[in-house]
Structure 1
Amino acid sequence: MQQIGRTTAAGRVLPSPLALTTQVEAGRRYRCHYTPRDALGHLNPSDTGATPFVQLRATGAEDALMKAQHVTGCPVAEAIRIEG
């Protein structure tokens, strides 16, 4: 199990303030579709028109687009909020 935060002298792990903030604020789920790149870094759109996607939690659509761009390293076309 990975522990996030600082360890005290008594061996307890104090949670990182950033980890707590992220868990509280990132409550909505989004599906972000992106255009993949090939081995040379060129955009490689699908022949069938279906785009791959990532699902993540974010505070809003703009935050989801930014996170998806960071995770995939590819241009992100859209962010759709997943209800439920």
Structure 2
Amino acid sequence: MYKLYYIQIKKEFEDISQERMANIGDFINIFDTTYLIVTEISAKDIYHKISMDSESSIFIIQCNIDEYYGWANKRVWTWLNEKKKLFR
């Protein structure tokens, strides 16, 4: 089952984390070091797959794709609407 996660990554881990996120799901960068990712794995598994070590500063929380609102770049809304189809 697919899940949507919000991920905040400390700047110094960003490049490596992006490479690793590409291997676990479809993601989009929404602001500086903030991402949304659709994957079938848990938040804990995401952390272990994208972190550098046990002290990497990464925040991950599961989101509800059925309810969202705000102001963002059009590409973010397009991405969300495309991914929302996976949850039907």
TM more than 0.5: no
Structure of greater Rg: 1
Structure 2 length-normalised TM: 0.37
Report which structure shows greater RCO (CA 8 Å, sep ≥6). Answer: 2
Greater helix proportion: 2
